[in-house]
Amino acid sequence: MDYDRTSSLVKKLQQIVLANLNNEQFGVEDLAKSYGLSRSQLHKKLKKQVGKSVSQFIREVRLEEAKKLLEQEDITASEVAYQVGFSSATYFNTRFKDYFSYPPGEVRLRMNYERRNIENTVKQYNERDGLVKSNRPKWLLWGIGIGALLIAGVFLFMTSYRPEQSPGNQHQALTMVDSISMEKTVAVLPLKNWSGDPDLEYISDGMTDAIIIKLAKIGSIERVVPFTSIKAYKNTAKSIKDIANELDVKNILQGSFQLAGEQVSVKLQMIDGDSEVQFWESEFKSKWKTDEIFDLQVLVAENVAEKMNAEVSFEEKIAIGQVPTDNKEAYQLYLQASYKFHSISKNEITQAIPLYEKAIMLDSTFIEAYLGLAVINLLSGAVWGIVPQDQAWSNTKRTYVKALEMDASNKNMHQELIKKQLLEGKVMYEWDIATYEKEYRNSPSFGYAIKMGRHLEAFRMAKHALEEFPDRGYSYLGVASALFFLDRHKEAIDLLSKNEDLFIGDYFFLFESAKYFHYLGEQERSKRQLERFKDLFKDRPPIIHWLDAIHAEMEGNTELMNATLATLEDLYEQNASGSPAWFLALYYCHVKDYDKAFEWLQKSYDHHEVEMTWLKEEPVLIPLKEDPRYRDLYEKVGFSVLEKSLEKGTILP
């Protein structure tokens, strides 16, 4: 608060608000009554003295107290929100960031930074004055002297960093043209593996992905093309100009990765996409040690941002400097697992799972490995149809529970994300709608909201996700699907059409966009996305067979249609994951054979298929909704809890 706290009026009002802090109903009327003035009198006095409204004053007292709690206690932002009288954790997060200019999750990070910065500054002066003998290289002292950030043991090197003086890391800048003002969009092409060992391809891809992820965290960079879309250009013969045009970016970053013994070298060139003129080239070197590898990744990201005149904020420096593990072997296994995960095939994913598990065995605090393992299990048993459904969910639950334990003990602040994904999994695999209804207010989720018919809420969440992750295919899919359910079809078509080429190698984006183009009546685009998927990926999950059958029926290709339907029936008999009975029901509804559709919906219910959680909102099933058989399934899955909650007024509309 930027006003006189010693004022008797302010002090008394603060005391009253603090005495009623956890009462979310305590408002302007209550404060005025407690102070002994009318609402209008209190407003005039407070406005004159501090220039703020009474409601703003109450909110800021709550926020100031929230910050104190976050500084003093090991407590989540959601817990603090309700302790200081906010009825919504999401609203609290928004107001906190508006007031303090950073989110509540960064309070302790900032405290740690400030403490470490003071400690390092004191130590620096002691070393300078001879009070402490320094064994650090001179470049590190210079870095500290200009405010280099130290967090979780990682040094984020600033632009004045002099790495050529470091025996560990070396960066030889061969700048060809000074940094110039330009459009801040970039595609990082897969680094070429010059190590002479094709088995190290996972490391070069892992380095590419790490650089992309760090660049994507820098808000002043307008767009960073995701790794899933970049993979298609791994061995391309296309020109830089063609690639830049296809990906709609101004800058192309290309280069090579080389690991020789314990020495890592990354050579990079930045090229203007329009003119194909190279305006920057650098070589980065380090030892193959986890701390130095992460330093190198940060250094690359900061240099690339600098060459695009993109500013990196304090919060972003913290984010890109996070160290996932100190165990080199665990990190290599994690890179191998992620490499196979990105390949998205049954064979590769089944190989990725034990790699994640081995990484966790080597470093039981490696939270990113837990999250990778949990997500791969969660998705593999769902629409992807890769791992048996029961096995996938059992492994997912076990991994998320362990991840929560690890995250809490290491303060990595993933708890809310993990809890939300665990709740979503319980809905998908256990149809536990009742539990999520109780938690929805504290943990709103796009996936849950869209399935439960909260389309406007889902749209708002999707828009927020798109702003935060503009490089992810699912962000665009989320907005487009919400627009579809809001009957804003032209906007949905425009959004998907504009970005379909950007995510040309994205497994999930391809089949989901094919589905929504079909719903939107854009059959040519739907077929094109379907064919792209089939060209890039060998697997054929049930959703692909359904789309094949739909297009074959519309084109009059009876032979393909019958063969595809037979394949789906075989998958159902094998109890395969991916909800084959559900997609057979959708097909028969499409051809208006409603009795057959109900037959397969019942079989989907009997096999407890995850896609049954779409029963309430699936557009293909609209013709069935007046049939008593539909209502029976609706209630058995558990959707009736929504109506009961609405009657009691206990959930958001």
Instruction: Looking at the structure, tell me whether residues 341 and 425 fall in a common domain.
Output: yes
For residues 334-357, one letter each, b for 16 or more C-beta atoms within 10 angstroms of the residue's C-beta and e for the rest, the string is: bbbbbbbbbbbebebbebbbebbb
Name the residue with tokens 């697992």: 337
Position 561 in a domain: yes
Domain boundary pick from 275, 293, 319: 319
308 and 335 fall within a common domain: no
Query: Is 310 in the same domain as 337?
Result: no
Question: Strands 278-287 and 170-173, how do they pair?
Answer: antiparallel
Instruction: Indicate the pLDDT class of residue 80, thresholds 50, 70 and 90.
Output: confident
**CA dihedral in degrees (621, 623, 626, 629; nearest 10)?**
-50
Report the range out of 170-174, 462-466, 490-494, 533-537 with the highest average pLDDT: 490-494
In a domain, 498, yes or no: yes
Evaluate whether residue 116 is within a structural domain: no
Pairwise CA distance, residues 92 & 326, whole Å: 35
Specify whether 46 is located in the same domain as 151: no
| 510: its two tokens | 């391809």
Q: Which secondary-structure segment (H or E) carries 185?
A: strand 185-188
**CA–CA distance, 124 with 549 (Å, rounded to integer):** 70
**Res 181 pLDDT > 50:** no
pLDDT of residue 331: 85
Question: Do 346 and 266 share a structural domain?
Answer: no
What burial class does residue 483 get, using C-beta atoms within 10 Å of its C-beta: 0-12 exposed, 13-18 middle, 19+ buried?
buried
Asked whether the predicted pLDDT for residue 590 surpasses 50, the reply is yes
Contact 518, 547 (CB under 8 A): yes
Taking 60 as the threshold, does the pLDDT of residue 173 lie above it?
no
Q: Give Cβ neighbours of residue 1 (< 8 Å, ≥ 6 apart).
A: 50, 60, 61, 64
**Helix spans in 254-366 (H):** 290-307, 314-320, 328-343, 346-362
pLDDT higher for 526 or 215?
Answer: 526
The per-residue pLDDT for range 99-125, each reduced to its tens digit, is: 887 778 777 767 665 555 555 544 444
Same domain for 452 and 367: no
Among the ranges given (35-39, 360-364, 416-420), the one the predictor scored with the smallest mean pLDDT: 416-420
- Asked whether residue 265 falls in the same domain as residue 366, the answer is no
Q: pLDDT tens digits, residue range 203-237?
A: 788 888 888 888 888 888 888 888 877 877 887 88
**What residue spans of 84-133 are helical by DSSP H?**
89-100, 107-128
Encoded tokens for 360:
């966790």
Q: Is residue 402 part of a domain?
A: yes
Same domain, 308 and 333: no
Phi first, then psi, for residue 89 (nearest 5°) are -65, -35
**CATH number of the domain bearing residue 83:** 1.10.10.60
pLDDT the model gives residue 359:
92
Number of domains, the chain: 4
Residues 478 and 335 in one domain: no
Residue 650 has pLDDT above 50, yes or no: no
101, 122, 145 - which closes a domain: 101
Closest CA to 163 of 55, 303, 54: 303
Residue 217 and residue 337 in one domain? no
pTM: 0.61
CB 387 within 8 A of CB 377: yes
Q: Give domain status of residue 77, yes or no.
A: yes
pLDDT: is 15 or 139 the higher one? 15
**312 in the same domain as 220:** yes
Task: Give the Cα-Cα-Cα angle 232, 236, 240 (nearest 5 degrees).
Answer: 100
Asked if residue 488 is part of any domain, the answer here is yes
Band of the pLDDT at 645, cuts 50, 70, 90?
Answer: low
Cα separation, 479 vs 466, whole angstroms: 8
Domain boundary, last residue among 399, 430, 461: 430
Domain of 176, CATH number, reads 3.40.50.10070
* Mean pLDDT value across residues 46-68: 84
Does 123 fall in a domain? no
Domain of 571: which CATH number? 1.25.40.10
pLDDT given for residue 409 in this prediction: 58
pLDDT the model gives residue 622? 96
Q: Examine the domain organization and report whether 514 and 641 are in the same domain.
A: yes
Tell me the residue range of the domain where 168 lies.
137-319
Tens digit of pLDDT for each residue in 367-384? 888 888 988 888 888 988
Is the separation of the CB atoms in 507 and 537 below 8 Å?
yes
**491 found inside a domain:** yes
